[in-house]
A = this chain, B = another copy of it.
Amino acid sequence: MPALDRLLRPRSVTIVGASADPAKLTGRPLAYLQKYGFSGAIYPVNPRSETIAGWRCYPAISALPEPPDAAIVLLGGDKAIAAVADLAAAGTSAAIVLASGFGESGPSGEARQADLRRSAGAMRLLGPNTIGLVNVSDGIVLSASNALVNDEILAGKVALVSQSGGILGSLLSRAQATGLGFSKLVATGNEADLDVADFIAWLADDPSTAVIALYLEGLRDPDAFKSAVRHARERGKVVVAFKVGRSESGARSAASHTGALAGSDAAYDALFRQLGIVRADRYSDLIDFPLMLASGRALKGNRLAIVTSSGGAASLLADAAGLAGFETPSPDEATAAKLTALAIEGANLDRNPIDVTLAGVKSETLRTILDAVVSSPLYDAVAMVLGSSALREPKTIGTPLFECAAQTKKPVIAFASPHAPDLLRDFNVAGVPTYAAPEACAAALAALRRAGDPVRAAWSEPVAPAAPNDVSHLLKPGALNEEDSKRLFAAFGIAATRGMPVTTPESAEAAGRSFGGRVVVKVLSRQVLHKSELGGVAVGVSQVDIARTCAEMRDRFVAAARVEPEGFLVQELIEGGIEMILGLHHDPQLGPTILLGMGGIAAEIYSDTALRIVPVSREDAEGMIDELMCAPLLKGYRNRPAADVPALVDAILAFSRMAETIGGNVAEAEINPLFVLSKGRGAIAGDGLVVVKDTGSPAGRA
């Protein structure tokens, strides 16, 4: 039996440092085990007590009658470390260490945490600095948290894994008030051993769990997280995540100017997209989305019917839904006929919002209306607006609403316009996701739409890296010049503009004649990364101006960079293509990433970029393009010709393959501009920059 099974469904629990006083923190775990109906054996350990709450108390861990499945360690500091060693020696499967003062509190705490980890040996460890876990489905509480003092915990299909104990408590109290039920609650704390990925992997196979909600501060093992989430998605679980630390992302940005656009939060966002995780943007989403996602319903389209007795509140909801991309079409003829046949005076039943007025707020009438609306093929979801009449007579509206919801697979939700906390909770417990904010209704429906996306082929079918080409001779440490950069890209299948490197203005003129027409002239240098900012790029130079342009360019370059350029590059002029940027960068936490952006200044001014973690699948690459605001341009905007999108997808995949093959040697790489020509004509690198790491090791993957 795996250790995590024993931790989450223990047959026996030892409480090290247990107190007989349930008012004390150290008295709580035993009290909670009893209160929530734990049916296994409890072994309190405390040399100063004989029995606690009817259970025999043991003087030491070594005196326990059998190896316990799980342990709660209520001691701190060195005593916790010693207890963990004793528990491991006693054959305990897993221990929870609640104490703080470890990894989260500076270098000395980190050393203490390493000691703790070592003393656990093969025994699994939750914490330290955690409030423990609650298996709500099976009535097992392994925690000392204050948050569990009051109510019973509502059971439900949502498992919450939080890297912060305080946030777990906050969310639990909010969920209880809102009517959201949980299957499991786990605070992973410092994650000295067991981390968020371990619990996701376990929850993937938990039949009581339909939705896994995550509160994340940062991933210690991204690869384990990826495979755990993939596993959960394959088992049909929906994963929702809130990630704190979004506004500090800028600070961790790379030095390169497109790197600056792809900070750590953007990388997390990419990771979530690639794994099919529904991202929660607001803190309240972490309650609101699971309420909707746990309903087990699917949203097939974006047409919403709003049934109301209050015109004002229905406008609010229609407006919020519209902003989130939903439509609120008027009822189809057949449905409108059914509704108007009810002849409710003053009601507007052939529009949407469907205003039944107060006269329509009778259970039977409302049931007829709701059934007609929900069975209309026009609508993908139905929202009921709860006004003050619902507050006065909750059952009059609740009964027909719950009955209607029970008989359809379409999402049925409600929006409470006045302050109505009890109504909200009751309706949610009854299984109709009900919200106090119109924006929350819309956001939760949008989350349901996102959750319905098929599991992405991202990492389950990665694009196989090309056989390592022999590119080692190109990987000279430092910045490669444009020609060498393009050669490297070419080795992975990305074409480049034709060009000739020359050393003098005179030879540049000769090279220009071989291209004919107007050309591009650039300075060649390994010393300067962004040559265009130093006036080192001239586009559309006439034949007669080539030599003069080179000479002036050299003078400007020398004045600005204080170094002689290696020479010049004369290139064919590409006209009519759409200029994009394609980049490879390393996220400090999540590894190599591919960035696609609109070229020129748009990527920066408008932040029009998309990011994915390597490896990138074909579906991901297509998703990146769709995500860009400039996507319509690529697909043929107004009377412009469509661009060669398949060639752009191939270029993205080539960059991903390059990252997989030699990513360890490349600090960053960028094609700017990448000309995406019209359909069938390909994508061509117009300029390139590669910075090779000085690793001291031979190039290529081992």
Q: Mark A651-677, 1 if CB is under 8 A from B, else 0.
A: 000000000000000000000000000
- Is A105 in contact with B437, judged by CB distance below 8 angstroms? no
CB atoms of A418 and B282 under 8 A apart: no
Q: Given that A105-B346, A167-B316, A315-B245 are known contacts, is A176 also in contact with B419, CB under 8 Å in the complex?
A: yes
Copies of this protein in the complex: 2
What are 11 A-B pairs at a CB distance below 8 A? A164-B312, A166-B311, A166-B387, A169-B388, A169-B418, A170-B388, A174-B418, A217-B315, A244-B315, A248-B322, A283-B438
Q: A283-B316, A315-B217, A630-B605 are in contact. Are A419 and B177 (CB under 8 A)?
A: yes
Q: What band does the interface of chain A fall in when counting residues whose beta carbon is under 8 Å from B?
A: 35 or more
Asked if B244 and A170 make an inter-chain contact with CB atoms under 8 angstroms apart, the answer reads no
Q: Is A516 interfacial (CB 8 A cutoff)? A: no
Partner of A173, one of B105, B316, B419: B419
Given the interface pairs A319-B244, A417-B170, the reply to whether A282 lies near B639 with Cβ below 8 Å is: no
Contacts of A608 in B (CB 8 A): 606
Say yes or no: A146 contacts B606, CB within 8 Å. Answer: no
Identify the 9 closest CB pairs spanning chains A and B, nearest first.
A247-B322, A164-B312, A166-B312, A173-B418, A167-B312, A177-B419, A173-B419, A166-B310, A170-B417
Query: Is A283's CB under 8 angstroms from B437's CB?
Result: yes
Q: Does A254 contact B (CB under 8 A)?
A: no
Which residues of B lie under 8 Å from residue A558 when comparing CB positions? none
Q: Which residues of B contact A439 (CB under 8 A)?
A: 282-283
Q: Separation in Å of the A571 CB from the closest CB of chain B?
A: 19
- Specify the chain B residue showing the minimal Cβ separation from A249: B322
Contact A601/B637 with A245-B315, A247-B319, A437-B283 known, Cβ cut-off 8 Å:
yes
A602 within 8 A of B: yes
Return the contact of A602 from the options B321, B533, B606, B632 (Cβ within 8 A).
B606
Q: Which residues of A contact B (CB under 8 A)?
A: 100-101, 104-105, 146-147, 164-167, 169-170, 173-174, 176-177, 217, 244-248, 282-284, 310-313, 315-316, 318-323, 346, 387-388, 392, 417-421, 437-439, 533, 601-602, 605-606, 608, 629-630, 632-633, 637-639
Which of B101, B166, B169, B388 is in CB contact (< 8 Å) with A146? B388
Report B-chain residues with C-beta under 8 Å of the C-beta of A322: 246-248
CB-based nearest B residue for A308: B166
Instruction: Among A173, A174, A419, find the residue whose CB has the most chain B CB atoms closer than 10 A.
Output: A419
Give the CA-CA distance A318 to B248 in the complex, in Å.
Answer: 9
CB distance from A242 to the nearest CB of B (A): 9
Contact partners of A637 in chain B: CB under 8 A: 601, 605
**Inside 8 A of A147's CB, which chain B residues have their CB?**
388, 418
A425 to chain B, nearest CB (A): 11
Q: Which of A319, A420, A438: most chain B CB closer than 10 A? A: A319
Which of A174, A217, A311: most chain B Cβ within 10 A?
A311
Chain B residue with the shortest CB-CB distance to A167 = B312
